[in-house]
Structure 1
Amino acid sequence: MAAIELNSEKTTDFNHSIASLRDAQIFNHSQRFIQGWYWAIPSRELKPGQVKPITLLGRKIAIYRGEAGKVFAVDAYCPHMGAHLAEGKVEGNGLRCFFHNWKFDADGICVDSPCLGKPVSVTIKTWPTAEKYGMIWVWTGEEAQQPIPFVPELKEDSCDVMLAARFEKNCHPNVVMINAIDAHHFNTVHNLPVDIVFQKKELPENAITFSNITRGGDDSWFVKLIRPLYQNEVTYKMCYWYGSIGTVTLGPDFFHFHIMFALRLTETGKTEGQTLLLTQKRPGLWGWIFNRFVLWITWIVGNYFAKGDTQIFQTIKFDFKTPTKADKSIIEFIDHLEGQTALTWETWQAVER
C-alpha cells in the first residue's frame, strides 16, 4: 500500500482507518450487506388485496397489501409443500396459499387449513415493512431498530417526492456510494476547479454525514458566478445509511435540492438502484405547482452529476490498493461501515466477527 503523507496530529486516526481498510470484511463484499431498511417496490405497484413476489438481497419474499391497506412481507414458500405464496390470495390482513388453502395471518401464524378441519401449528417468517417517499421498505432484521432513511435537513418535514430513474451499475453498492465523497473526482470527471475537503459526523441511527469545505477556484469564472449565492461554504452534504442508501443536499444558501439514491445488492454482486427526488411539502395549489418545478430542477441537477460517472461504473474493477490523503473521507466511510451489523446474502443471518 502506498505511503500517505499527513499532518502529524492526524496520522494516528488515519492509520487506524487504513488498518480497518486492510481488514474489511463487509465493504465491497458480494455476499454481505448491512442490516437495515431496503426498498422493495414503489407503493403504487401494490394495490389493496394484491400480492407480489420479490427477491430482496437474495431472499424470496411474498409482499402483499391487506384489504385495509397495510403492507406485509413474508418468506415466499408455504411450509407445507413449498408452494410460492405469491400465487395465493389476500384475505383481510392474511394470506391464503393457492395449493392447499392454508391461511396465514399477519404474524405468519397458520390460522386455517380446510382439509384438516383445524389450523396446523406452523408459521412463516415475517419481516417488518414501512412506506415512505412513495416506496415500500423492508427491514432485513428481526425487529426494526431505526427509522426509514431520511435527509437530515428534512427530518421533521413532510415531503413531496418524485420517483426518478431506476438504474443498474456494474459494481457493488458500496463503490457507488463512495463516489459522491471522492473529493478528487470532482476536479477530474466534473471539471470543478475547487479543492473539496469533507468533514464527517456520525449519527445515532447507523448513519454518517459528510459536509464539504470548499477551497480555491478564485480564478474560475464559474466559482465567481456562484460565490455571491453562498455566505460560507458551497453547500454539498452527503448522508449514508447502511452503506447502500445515500442522500445528497446541495444548492445556494437560499434554496437546497435533495436527492436520495436507494441501492441494493444483486446476486451478481452488482447494484440495482432507485433515485428519489425530495422537497419540503408546501401548502396549497401553488405550493404543489412550485414543488413540481423544484423536483424537475432537482432531476436535472442529479442527471448532471450521474452522467459523468456512469461509464466508470460500467467498467470499474474496484481495487483500493493505493489510498492517498485525498481519499480520507472514503476510508472513514469504510471504517463506519465495518462497525455495523452485517448480514449474509439470502439467509439474512448475522455475520460472526
Structure 2
Amino acid sequence: MNLAQSQPAQPQQNQLQHPANPAEPQASTFNHPDRFIQGWYWVMPSRPLKCGQVQPVTILGRDLAVYRTAAGQVAIVDAYCPHMGAHLAEGCVDDEGLRCFFHNWRFDSQGVCTDIPYLGHALPIRITTWPVVEHYGLIWVWTGDAPPPPPPFVPELENVVWDVALGKPFVHNCHPNVLMVNAIDAHHFNTVHNFPIEIVFKNEVVNESAIMFSNTTRGGDESWLVRLIQPFYQHEGTYSMCYSYGSTGTVTLGPDFLHFYIVFALRLGPDGTTEGQPIFVTQRRSGVSGWLFNRVVLWLTQQVGNYFAKGDTKIFQTIKFDLKTPLKADQSILQFMHHVEGQQALQYGSWEAVTA
C-alpha cells in the first residue's frame, strides 16, 4: 500500500497492453486442466532426503525417482528402468548413482547406464534426467527442454543470504493459475479482507516468464487502521506480487522498516487441482540475537500468510473460474492471463511441448 502518493501511477511503457476486447484473450493455457508452463516446480522439502536415500514422487503427472548421492547432490530421473520397467525408487543409491532393485542395473546421476552385472559391462542406454536445484528449503525440478534460468526468488532478497521456514502443504480444488490471480484480484481486498482503501495495480514484465504487480494507490484516511499505520509507509508501496511460470508467486508486504516475504510454490495436480507449498523467507541476521529475531520474523510472516489465506481458502474448493464479465478492477487479472498465454505450455503427464 502506498500511503505517500495521492494519484494512481500512470501506465508504464513495459506494461502489457490490455486486449481490445476486455474478455480476451481466449485462454488456451490459462486454467487448462492438462497444461502448465515450462519452468521450475517444487518437488519436496530438502531436509528429509538424506545422503544415500531415494524417494518416489509424482510431479505434474510424471513418475520420478529423487535421490541424494553420497556426496550430497540431489538427482531426479524418470522412474522406470529401461530394462523391464521396475520403479527405480525401489532400488538403492550406489555412491553417485542409482541401482535398480530388480536386476541391479546401475545409472549415474546423468542417467547413463554404467553397469549391468549379468553382462559384466554396461550398454549404451540412458534414462531421462532433469535439472534440479535446492532452493528455499525445497528441491525444485526444471520441466522444460530450454536451458534453465535461476529458480523463482524474492526480488528484494536476490543478492543476500536468507532464512526460511516451510508452511503446511495444501491441495486446492482449482488450477494454480486461478489461485495465483487471487493476490491481484483488486476488489476482493475490499469485499473479503475489508481493506478500507482502493487497490490499483501496475505491472512490470520482469522477463518472459516473470511478471510483477505492485499496488500504487493510497486512501482510506477516514479509517483508524490507515491512520495508525500511515507513519510506517513513507515511500513506495509495500504490497507486490511477482509471478514465475504462472504458478509460483512471491508476495512482498509490510511497513517500510520490516517487509514480509511469502512464496507460494504451486504445481498442477490431478484433474486441474493445485498442490501447494508456502515458504516464509527473511534476510539472515548474524549472531544469536539475529537468529532469535529471524525466528520471530518467520513466525510473524506465517501469521500474515495465514490471515490472508483464511478468508479465501473455501472459495478455492468450489470455484469454477470463468471470467465472463470483466470489470475495470479486473485489469490486472487480464494482464496476468495474457502473460501466461505468451509462455511455452507443456502437457500434463508427458511434459511435451504444446504446439497448438
TM-score by structure 2 length?
0.93
The residue aligned with 1:120 is 123
**Cα displacement string for residues 28-62 of structure 1 (whole angstroms, at most 9, x for unaligned residues):** 00000001110101001211000010000000000
Is 1:21 aligned to residue 25 of structure 2?
A: yes
Question: 1:4 — aligned with what?
Answer: none
Give yes or no for contact 2:130–2:141 (8 Å, CA) kept in 1.
Answer: yes
Pick aligned residue for 2:181 from 175, 178, 185: 178
Matched-pair contact (CA < 8 Å) for 1:234–1:251? no
Please state if 1:38 is matched with 2:17: no
Give the deviation of 1:94 after TM superposition: 0.6
Cα separation, partners in 2 of 1:157 and 1:20, compared to 1, 3 Å: farther
Q: Within the alignment, does 1:282 sit opposite 2:285 as a pair?
A: yes
Distance 1:64 1:307 in 2: 35
Choose which of 256, 266, 270 in structure 2 pairs with 1:267: 270
Letter in structure 2 aligned against 1:52: Q
> Which position in structure 2 is the counterpart of 1:167?
170
Q: Match for 1:185: what amino acid?
A: H
Distance 1:45 1:143, change over 3 A: farther
Contact in 2 for aligned 1:128/1:144 (Cα 8 Å) = no
- Calculate the TM-score normalised by the size of structure 1: 0.94
CA contact (8 A) 1:127 1:142 kept: no
Select the structure with the greater relative contact order (CA < 8 A; seq sep ≥ 6): 2
Q: Which amino acid aligns with 1:249?
A: T
Q: Are the aligned partners of 1:17 and 1:332 in contact in 2 as well (CA < 8 Å)?
A: no
SS of residue matched to 1:148: coil
Q: How does 1:1-353 map to 2 (within 5 A)?
A: 13-16=17-20, 18=22, 20-22=24-26, 24-204=27-207, 206-353=209-356
Q: 1:292–1:28: structure 2 CA closer, same or farther, 3 Å change rule?
A: same
1:118-143, Cα deviation, whole Å (9 max, x unpaired): 21221100000000111100000135
SS at 2:167's partner residue?
strand
**Percent identity between the two aligned chains:** 62
Distance in 2 separating the partners of 1:351 and 1:324: 31
1:205 shift after superposition: 5.8
Q: Tell me the amino acid that sits aligned with residue 265 of structure 1.
A: L
Give the length in aligned residue pairs.
344
Secondary structure in structure 1 of the residue aligned to 2:25: helix
State the alpha-carbon separation in 2 of the partners of residues 231 and 17 from structure 1.
Answer: 38
SS in 2 for 1:211: strand
Query: SS in structure 2 opposite 1:33?
Result: strand
Q: Which amino acid counterpart does residue 198 of structure 2 have in structure 1?
A: D
Using the TM superposition, give the Cα deviation of residue 219 of structure 1 relative to its aligned residue in structure 2, in angstroms: 1.0
Q: Post-superposition shift, 1:255? A: 1.2
Choose between structure 1 and 2: higher helix proportion: 1
- For 1:46 and 1:174, the matched residues in 2 are separated by 29
Q: SS at 1:254's partner residue?
A: coil
**Structure 2: where are the runs of 5+ without partners?**
1-9
